[in-house]
């Protein structure tokens, strides 16, 4: 006779406030692309043995000497106590040898590329990792985190509407199940640490969840309120693959003294308006151009002008443009400023030709980030959700990543 055990546990939730270090990239470093080598993947989460590709531009265009450094991290992205030989076969630090200069561009730059793992560097264990790129003076010019996992468990993910009547039309909730038929977990409440990401944005990661139910070799997380995210709205976008022309969302393009200037149509706040479907790529971007053989070296840069017309009272909040193109970071490089002459919030950013998703987010003085103050929030919004399963067995010196699950709110459950 097969017996199924079912338990309910009281827990304490610690949502959000769990993110990668918020270091500002060096001003001359632009267009950092860090993604798996496989097609149609934009997020640096790979299975052990798979490859990541890094590309970035140096606007100094002087074929500078750059090196990389890989460090193993804890669950909260601080550097772990492991020595390099425990997580790397080969060298944890080495020179970046592949680079090319831009061709026929108004903005000169050198494009650097790196593949990890490579002949000199092979990763041995799962976990969080921090990749630092350093100049010849050993100064860090930028950092990017990535996750390596081993598929020791399977993760089923489902997206639901909020059960809270006050947010039923504005929030989405993530439920998931961890199946571990071949892995013995002695104390799931202490050893298993899930992390939920919306659109792979670590700024709003949800952590601190404990399993609610134990059913055989399954851990069930059937929360609703505790795992809910504001649905937000579909991302805005523009496509500058033809840098000389206006398009659907580009009002005009002008050649200045040195570079092109790309003026987007003014965006108006969408809060208070009905939901409208705009297919997007959930905050990602793709470098591309209409005329040229190699977008990495032939695509040019332009000053892109953003403007926002908002009627909301935002005196105690700062407004930022957010997306994967700036690693979701909120700093002075993507902050909007109010122009009393035009009654608009405005900024400009130097961006490489390509297709870009972006959104307007606000941040309060105490650090609370909102993706719905400007554009509203709808349960119908299509979002990607990723559930990472961290595992630290009692007595072990590091935290493993033993599984990953994916869900999308396009198929939302009631």
Give pLDDT tens digits for 381-399: 999 999 999 999 988 999 9
Write down all domains in the chain, each with its CATH number in brackets: 29-149 (2.60.40.10), 155-231+381-408 (2.60.40), 236-370 (2.60.40)
Percent of the chain's residues with pLDDT above 90? 85
Task: For residue range 262-298, list pLDDT tens digits in order.
Answer: 999 999 999 989 999 888 999 999 999 998 889 999 9
What is the reported pLDDT for 16? 41
pLDDT of residue 112: 98
pLDDT tens by residue, 338-385? 999 999 999 999 999 999 999 999 999 888 999 999 999 999 999 999
Region of 168 (left: φ > 0; alpha: ψ -120 to 50; beta: rest) is: alpha
Query: Between 61 and 4, where is the model more confident?
Result: 61
**Which pLDDT band holds residue 164 (cuts at 50, 70, 90)?**
very high
Supply the pTM of this predicted model. 0.91
Question: 112 vs 35, 61, 93, 276, 296, CA distance in Å?
Answer: 14, 11, 16, 40, 9
Encoded tokens for 194: 């899930």
The pLDDT of residue 3 is above 70: no
Rounded to an integer, the average pLDDT of 212-236 is 95
Average pLDDT over residues 44-58: 97
Return mean pLDDT, the chain.
Answer: 92
For residue 2, name the pLDDT band (cuts at 50, 70, 90): very low
pLDDT band at 315 (very low <50, low <70, confident <90, very high): confident
């Amino acid at each position: 006779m097969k017996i199924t055990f079912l338990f309910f546990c009281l827990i304490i939730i610690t949502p959000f406030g769990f993110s990668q270090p918020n270091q500002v990239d060096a001003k001359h470093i632009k267009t950092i692309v860090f993604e798996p080598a496989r097609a149609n993947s934009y997020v640096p989460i790979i299975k052990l043995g798979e490859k990541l590709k890094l590309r970035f531009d140096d606007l100094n265009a002087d074929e500078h000497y750059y090196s990389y450094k890989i460090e193993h991290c804890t669950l909260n992205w601080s550097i772990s106590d492991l020595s390099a030989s425990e997580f790397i076969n080969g060298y944890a630090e080495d020179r970046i040898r592949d680079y090319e200069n831009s061709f026929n561009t108004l903005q000169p730059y050198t494009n650097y590329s790196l593949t990890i793992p490579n002949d000199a560097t092979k990763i041995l264990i799962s976990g969080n990792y921090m990749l630092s790129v350093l100049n010849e003076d050993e100064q860090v010019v930028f950092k990017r985190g990535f996750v390596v996992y081993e598929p020791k468990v399977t993760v089923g993910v489902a997206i639901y509407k909020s059960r809270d009547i006050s947010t039923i039309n504005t929030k989405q909730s993530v439920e998931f199940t961890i199946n571990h038929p071949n892995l013995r977990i002695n104390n799931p409440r202490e050893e298993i640490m899930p992390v939920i990401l919306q659109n792979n944005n670590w700024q709003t990661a949800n952590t601190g969840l404990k399993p609610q139910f134990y059913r055989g070799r399954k851990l069930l997380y059937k929360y609703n309120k505790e795992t809910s995210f504001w649905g937000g709205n579909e991302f805005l976008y523009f496509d500058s693959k033809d840098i000389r022309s206006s398009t659907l969302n580009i009002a005009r393009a002008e050649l200045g003294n040195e570079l092109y200037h790309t003026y987007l149509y003014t965006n108006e706040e969408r809060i208070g308006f009905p939901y409208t479907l705009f297919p997007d790529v959930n905050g990602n971007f793709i470098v591309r151009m209409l005329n040229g053989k190699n977008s990495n070296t032939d695509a040019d840069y332009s000053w892109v002008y953003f403007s926002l017309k908002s009627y909301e009272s935002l005196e105690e909040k700062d407004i930022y443009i957010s997306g994967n193109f700036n690693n979701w970071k909120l700093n002075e490089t993507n902050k909007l400023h109010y122009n009393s002459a035009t009654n608009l919030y405005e900024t400009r950013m130097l961006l490489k030709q390509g297709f870009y998703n972006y959104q307007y987010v606000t941040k309060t003085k105490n650090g609370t980030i909102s993706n719905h103050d400007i554009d509203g929030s709808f349960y119908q919004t299509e979002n990607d959700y990723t559930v990472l399963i961290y595992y630290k067995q009692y007595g072990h010196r590091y935290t493993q990543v033993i599984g990953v699950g994916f869900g999308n709110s396009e198929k939302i459950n009631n």
